Each structure stands twice: as C-alpha cells, then as structure tokens.
Amino acid sequence: MRVGVVGAGPAGITAAVFLCRYNFQVTIFEKDTIGGLIVNAWRVENFPVFYPLPGEAVVEILKNRLLSSTVKVIFEEVVEVQGTVAKTKSNSYEFDKLIVASGTIPVRLTQFEVDPKVVYEYRFLPESLTSLAIYGAGDVAFDSALKAKEKGVPFVHLFNRTREIKALPKLVEYAESSGIIYHEGEPIEKVESGLKIFTNKAEYNFDALLICAGRKPNTDFIKTSSKDLHIVGDACGGFRQMSIAVGNAVGTAMQIISEVNKN
C-alpha cells in the first residue's frame, strides 16, 4: 500500500511514521525544511508528552524520528493534488492513499510588504536585530516577542490594532515581565522602505517587522477530492495546536489502516 503525505510538519511526520509501523510504503513531500511552523515557537508548552521546549528542539525530535524511519522524503513542493495524485513542478506521483498535512499560510497584508525585512515567520527575520516591531495580539505575536527578547533583541514592540488581546494569559504575563513594549489600540497604518512605521499615534523606525495577522489553511492546491484523500492537522482549520494536529494525524492513520484491513 503506497501512501503519500504532503507536508513534513508535526501532523505529516506523525502520520508517516505511524503508517510505517504497519509496513506501508510512505513518501512524504516537503517544500522547505522538516518540522513545520513549530520551529518558530519560543516555547512549546501545550504538548503534554514533552516538558516545555523551544520550537527548534521539538523540530530536532521530529526530524530525527522521521529520518530514522523508512519514510521516503522528497524535498519538492506539491503544486497540485488531483485525488490521490500529487504533482510537483518536475513530476507526478500516484498513491493508493494521500494525506495532506500542508499546514497554514499567513493572512498577508500586502500593503506593508515594502521591504525584505517585513516577514510573516520568525525564522525569516534577519539576524543581529536591535529593534523589532510585531503586528498582532494573538499567541504567535506574543510568543514571537518573547523569543526575540530571549534571543537578545533589545527593543521589541508589539502593536495591537484593538484593545482586545487574543493570546494566552500566561504569555501576556511573561511579556509584561520581559520588557516588551506593548502598544494597545495602535494599528499600523503605513510602512515605508527602510522600515519606517506609521501608526495612528506616532512614527517609528525598526530593523524589521514581523506580521502576525492570522493564518488560514493551505489547501488551495487541492483541485479534486477523493475518498482516499485525507486532510489532517492545521490544514483542516481550527485550533492550530500541535497536540490536536498530532492526534488528528494518528486518528487518520488508524482509519487508513482499518480501511485497508477490511479489504
């Protein structure tokens, strides 16, 4: 039984490694690096199997587990899915079952994309920052701000366009004691090249801007569905929690195993 998995984040790796235990021939596709978005995390505290760990440490665990398995890894982007056929720019691969674990893509604010130092993921920030602006007030925004402070960025400003904070209270508490400068009800209105930022209250100069304005499921490349096509993890939408994504992947793998055993 040949199974393809699109995306080598926590959900994709979990499904791939789990199916290998049952002697399935599994191929996983990854367009970037193994591990997924969790690499950006300051601290992973919502996965009870681990003690709190930095995102990079979690990625190393996932990477080692994947590479020590019999899963075939192909570093290509899947640009189209037709049922159980995964197409890359260079080839087309047909499987008996296909699992899409492609995660999410950012909600872009294209009007602010005026400089290469405007990014949507922490890992894409330039090194040796002195000042960093973060736009957003959810878990990712506060988590990224804390990571920046831990990495030694002296001045970290977090801009919230409203007065509502959507992050976990614990993250907010950490931020309050870490020296992060929080701007409540101060939306960014304009960004100029060279990272001059204009809000409704003032003008600022920063070394980089990290936009955390939300994310949405990365599934637009799925053109045709099939009973043998399964979408797992953050690509399904929902809570964007690693523990939920991993549990969902295990459940899907068990469903595939059950289906095969019935035939």
Which residue range(s) make up the domain with 241? 2-105+215-262
CATH of the domain at 14: 3.50.50.60
98 and 31 part of one domain? yes
- Please report where in the chains the tokens 């890894």 appear, as a residue: 73
Indicate whether 226 pLDDT > 80: yes
User: Which residues are CB-neighbours of 110 under 8 A, at least 6 positions away?
Assistant: none
What is the arithmetic mean of pLDDT over 213-242? Answer: 93
The conformation of residue 44, written as its DSSP 8-state character, comes to B
Q: For position 262, what pLDDT does the model report?
A: 83
85 and 171 part of one domain? no
167 and 203 part of one domain? yes
Rounded CA-CA distance 75/33 in Å is: 8
Q: How many domains does the chain have?
A: 2
192 and 120 part of one domain? yes
Q: For position 263, what pLDDT does the model report?
A: 72
Q: For position 238, what pLDDT does the model report?
A: 75
121 and 137 part of one domain? yes
Say how many residues make up the chain.
Answer: 263
What is the arithmetic mean of pLDDT over 75-91? Answer: 97
Beta bridge partner(s), residue 205:
196
Nearest to residue 216, comparing CAs of 110, 108, 97, 81? Answer: 108
Q: For position 133, what pLDDT does the model report?
A: 98
118 and 86 part of one domain? no
What is the arithmetic mean of pLDDT over 41-58? Answer: 90
Asked if residues 143 and 42 have their Cβ atoms less than 8 Å apart, the reply is yes
Quick one: 130 exposed, middle or buried, by C-beta within 10 A (0-12, 13-18, 19+)? exposed
Indicate whether 240 pLDDT > 90: no
What's this model's pTM, rounded to 2 decimal places?
0.93
Rounded CA-CA distance 211/109 in Å is: 8
pLDDT above 70 covers a percentage of the chain that reads: 100
Q: For position 239, what pLDDT does the model report?
A: 72
31 and 95 part of one domain? yes
Q: For position 189, what pLDDT does the model report?
A: 98
pLDDT, tens digit (0-9, with 9 covering 90-100), for 93-106 = 999 999 999 999 99
134 and 165 part of one domain? yes
Coil, helix or strand at residue 40: helix
16 and 99 part of one domain? yes
164 and 198 part of one domain? yes
10 and 27 part of one domain? yes
40 and 58 part of one domain? yes
pLDDT, tens digit (0-9, with 9 covering 90-100), for 167-214 = 999 999 999 999 999 999 999 999 999 999 999 999 999 999 999 999
Quote the mean pLDDT of the chain.
Answer: 95
